[in-house]
Amino acid sequence: MQRKLDSTIPSHFQLQDLNKLQVLLEAIPDGVVKVDTAGRLQSANAVAQHLLARIISTSPEDILRPERATALRARDVQGQLLTAETFPIAHMLGGETLSGQNAPIIHFPTRDGQELYLQMSGAPLQKERTEIVGAVVILRDMTEHVRRRRYLEEMLLQGAIEQRRLRRREEHAHRISALVVDSAYSYQIRVDSEIRRIWLTDTFKSITGYTPEEIDALGWLNPSLYHVDDAPAVQARRQALLAGVSDVQEWRLITKSGEVRWLRDSCHPIKDLTSGAFHFYGAVHDITSHKKAEEQIHHLSRQLSTTFAAITDGVVIYDREGRMLQQNQAARELLGFDQGDNYSLLPMPERFPMVHMHLDRQPLRLEQTPLYRILHGEILKGPQAEDSFITALDGQQRCLNISGAPIRNLADEIIGGVLIFRDVTVRRRQELRTQHALDTLLAMAEALARSMEQLNFPDNIADQKAYISRQEVVQHLLSLGCDLLGAQVACIVTMDQGTYRFVPVAVTGLASDLEERFWRETPHAYLHDYFPADFREQLLEGEPVLLDVARLPKADMPTYGMSQMLVAPLHVGEQCLGLLIMDTLSVTQEYPLAEALALLKVVGKLTALVIERERLIHERIIAQIRTVAECEANRQKDDFLRLASHELRTPLATIRSGLQLTRRKIGHLQAEIPGVDLLQQIDEVLDRGERQVAVESRLISDLLDVSRIQEDRLELQSKLCNLLDVVRNVVADLRTSNPLRTIQIIEPANEDMIPVAADVERIGQVLTNYLNNAIKYSPVDKAIKVCFELDERVIRVSICDEGPGLAQEVQPKVWARFYQVPDRIVYSGSSGLGLGLYICQKIIRQHNGQVGVTSCPGQGATFWFTLPLALS
């Protein structure tokens, strides 16, 4: 009796289980195929593909359809042609299980003209134990067995003729033919009072390692030959032999080398009518590889089940119609399947409305759902695996990242699908929280930018009234910070540098009485009243802290209802301007502590920038006020000087005229009365008076020039002239008025003409001022030089003296209005008003030239100016 097929292959394989085990079935030495209800081939392992390829060269998809039996010339072992009704697969698809002796052997002619005998066993595939959806067929190559069976039949037939027992030999041959269907090796034993061997095939030795004689000595059913767990099977065999009944056992035999091998041992008794003894014909088939494959399949199946259950992501497997075939525990928890009665048994259209699903706040239609998409061929992974929000059966709202793919058979047909659900609710909330934080920080930066646009305090009074004060901007930032961190109570204080006394700036979230206390009491508090030394050090270094009011250095300090405070310094550069304080309880409910401290630090930096901006604006306002005051004072001074200059010029002109008239009359008297010393003395006095009037006139002219420059009314009368002539004339006049000074003109070689377009009078004024300064601030015995440097486009005129020189830091200042070098020695004349060089600079620049000075203390000074050459 053969072991039935359903002892190793379950009779109700589900479609998804077959797909899972498909790779593992490659290890089975027999061919395994799966057919649909029409007999079309859906899948096959490598052995089956090889066997079918020997029968037909074209696509084997329809080879096992019952309608193809006649075309393939398939016959049973008796040689009868099979029809669609008698073909074994038709029986399986009709609900019949074929195994053991019921599994027929079918003869197929091969493409190369050989014979192929296949035993076809199997069972129908059922869904929900009612509907047949196909069949699993085991194809075993029985060609060699049939040949052996024929050999045995011939042997038995010959022995019957020789012993004149034809009928018994035919019966023996019939029994053996039934035994060798599932056998790889055959042996024969005889039983009387004990078990004795009659004959064995050589293959038995290759399986066990024992010779027949060694087995005889040990005893055929010696327990030491078998695995200890198979002792009941050995005892059952002994009882069957003694009772003369057929028996089939699968057991583990321990070979001579100690190896354990699985054997299927089938035996059938035939009673010898002559002697009354039982002759047992048996067949042994080595099924070790088959058992190992079964064990591996079982082991891997358990691994798959364990892994499937242990996956933290939800996994659900569906059939072609979207019905749920299997789901792990994570999927049941994520989607709340345990809350819905018979939810997994409902068809897809009925399940869809029960789980509310939406993407970007838009409800999904059925054809947009991931399940519908994978059952229509889409693979959802990477960017296609989108985050969807669902309301599960248990009422919980979750954000799930759903990926998946269709399941296909060998014909590339979609037979189901698998979806993987990953809970990304925490990540999504973090993203939303981060986005909210970014939006709030951007709003803070925008508020800061708007305030920075007003860095220049407006001059207009109406614009000043519209000016945004620090109080308003800081209060706005504080509100945004509370919205960002979810704080209920917050305040901002600045600190006096040095004493660290608090100055309240803004507060929010306090009741009116507490807020009044805050504004009244905070100006009397100091940093050391609230913070221990280690916290003060952290804050002054720019790091935020978490302060427990239990650690306050002074226990009686007001905390305004806060038990813990998040405190961030208002830090700019190396300076701590103040503190930003928020209540901890409401903040830590929204953010982890480390994240809340980091955000609070950012808000503190933005607030510090606003406060620092206010300080800069205040300083700028003071500077602007000072500048306006100075400008007004200078304007009034210029007005006064202009008025005074005009008023003084008239009397000075009268005095000069009188002096000149008196000198002429004294000159006439001297001619008429020679030798009178008194007249000569009077002439000298008048000469000094005339020189002083000339000095005063020049000073008044300088004041008028300054006034014209300030009002941008200094006009030039430019014309083409020879600069050499201008210099010569000025030097000649100064030599006359200063006969004791040596003034040298170093003219450029081979140059009689230096053409410039200039106002001759104004350029003469510049030369006169440069030379007068050289005369005034250099010793009388030192020469003064006038030098020329010609370039392609400009002429540079330098006045060099050998006076005490100028320090480097003083040189830029000498061009300023009213500036006088302190403690400078004056060798002749007076120091003046400090306007000469200022006027010279303006005149030369108005001629598109430049001025400058080079000097070192103790080495004299060189004042120079440049003028463009009149090249055309």
User: How many other C-beta atoms are found inside a 10 Å radius of the C-beta of residue 13?
Assistant: 19
**Separation of alpha carbons 523 and 398, rounded Å:** 50
| pLDDT at 544 (0 to 100) | 92
User: How many other C-beta atoms are found inside a 10 Å radius of the C-beta of residue 644?
Assistant: 12
| pLDDT at 700 (0 to 100) | 61
Q: What's CA 761's distance to the chain center, in Å?
A: 75
Q: What is the pLDDT of residues 256-310, one digit of tens each?
A: 888 998 988 888 777 666 556 667 777 788 888 888 888 887 787 777 777 777 7
Mean pLDDT, rounded, of the chain: 78
* Same domain, residue pair 600 and 645: no
172, part of any domain: no
| pLDDT at 410 (0 to 100) | 82
- H-helix or E-strand spanning residue 586: helix 584-590
- H-helix or E-strand spanning residue 281: strand 278-286
Name the residue type at position 132. I
847 and 867 in contact (C-beta within 8 Å)? yes
Q: Which residues contact 315 (CB under 8 A, 6 or more apart)?
A: 308, 327, 328, 330, 331, 418, 419, 420, 421
**Backbone dihedral region of 858: left (phi > 0), alpha (psi from -120 to 50 degrees) or beta?**
left
Range 830-836 contact pairs with CB under 8 angstroms and sequence separation of 24 or more? 830/695, 831/776, 832/699, 832/702, 833/699, 833/702, 833/703, 835/702, 835/703, 835/705, 835/706, 836/702, 836/769, 836/772, 836/773
* Same domain, residue pair 332 and 419: yes
Q: Which domain holds residue 332?
A: 311-423
Q: What is the pLDDT of residues 408-444, one digit of tens each?
A: 988 889 999 999 888 887 777 766 666 666 666 666 6
* Same domain, residue pair 410 and 486: no
Which domain CATH number covers 667? 1.10.287
3-state DSSP call for residue 120? strand
Reply yes or no on whether the pLDDT at 186 is more than 50: no
Q: How many domains does the chain have?
A: 6
675, part of any domain: yes
User: How many other C-beta atoms are found inside a 10 Å radius of the C-beta of residue 425?
Assistant: 15
* Same domain, residue pair 285 and 327: no
* Same domain, residue pair 726 and 840: yes
Look at strands 397-408 and 387-391 and give their pairing: antiparallel
* Same domain, residue pair 223 and 187: yes
- Which of 571, 589, 616 delimits the end of a domain? 616
Range 394-397 contact pairs with CB under 8 angstroms and sequence separation of 24 or more? 394/336, 394/338, 394/339, 395/336, 396/336
* Same domain, residue pair 507 and 470: yes
CA torsion sign, 758 to 764 to 765 to 770? positive
Q: What is the pLDDT of residues 683-717, one digit of tens each?
A: 666 666 655 555 556 656 666 666 666 666 677 88
305, part of any domain: no
626, part of any domain: no
- Which of 390, 423, 456 delimits the end of a domain? 423
Tokens 């206010």: give the residue: 614
625, part of any domain: no
| Phi, then psi, of 380 in degrees rounded to 5 | -100, 105
* Same domain, residue pair 265 and 287: yes
| pLDDT at 277 (0 to 100) | 63
Tokens 């269709």: give the residue: 406
Beta bridge partners of 863: 799, 853
Which domain CATH number covers 402? 3.30.450.20
Nearest to 483 by CA among 509, 516, 501: 509
* Same domain, residue pair 370 and 455: no
154, part of any domain: no
Look at strands 784-790 and 851-855 and give their pairing: unpaired
Q: What is the pLDDT of residues 76-103, one digit of tens each?
A: 888 888 888 888 888 888 888 888 778 8
* Same domain, residue pair 509 and 567: yes
| pLDDT at 157 (0 to 100) | 65
* Same domain, residue pair 462 and 596: yes
| pLDDT at 20 (0 to 100) | 54
| pLDDT at 191 (0 to 100) | 43
Which domain CATH number covers 483? 3.30.450.40
Q: How confident is the model at residue 731 (pLDDT cuts 50, 70, 90)?
A: very high
Residue predicted with more confidence, 19 or 638 = 638
Q: At what angle do helices 425-452 and 593-672 cross, to 10 degrees?
A: 10
Which domain CATH number covers 739? 3.30.565.10
**Tokens standing for 634?**
């200078």
- The pLDDT of 842-852, averaged and rounded, is 92
Look at strands 545-548 and 502-508 and give their pairing: unpaired
Tokens 């009354």: give the residue: 276
**Separation of alpha carbons 580 and 566, rounded Å:** 8
Q: What's CA 371's distance to the chain center, in Å?
A: 30
The pTM for the full model equals 0.35
* Same domain, residue pair 603 and 520: yes
46, part of any domain: yes
- Which of 706, 724, 743 delimits the end of a domain? 706
150, part of any domain: no
